[in-house]
Amino acid sequence: MIPSYAILFLVILVTCSLGAVTMIAYRSRRKKTMRDDLRVLGSSAIVDQPLNPEGTVIVHGELWNACSSHGQLIIAQTRVRVVRLRDHLLVVEDYPA
């Protein structure tokens, strides 16, 4: 028969291991690299949350924080173009009409 403290130890070990794997997976999905930043430069995007002047846009299926280039309001579902990068913040402007 297995002692109860051995079972408790195994349960704690498995729980901690699963927690560590979950944290690593979460962080790897959230971290953007400089290579990702350069890939989106010049790309088109769709505004997800209105830019007033900051909000979010979707570029290549990824959600990014963004701001409008001249501080103007850009409403949701508007097509914009990525013109500049500021750290991991995309600077966008409206496509010409």
8-32 pLDDT per residue, tens: 999 999 999 999 998 887 776 655 6
Q: What is the pLDDT of residues 44-89, one digit of tens each?
A: 999 999 999 899 999 988 889 999 998 899 999 999 999 998 887 9
For residue 65, give the nearest of 43, 87, 44 by alpha carbon. 87
**For residue 26, what pLDDT is reported?**
75
CB under 8 Å to 6, separation ≥6 — which residues? Answer: none
User: 3-state class of 39 per DSSP?
Assistant: helix
**pTM above the 0.75 mark?**
no
Peptide bond into 96 cis (omega under 30): no
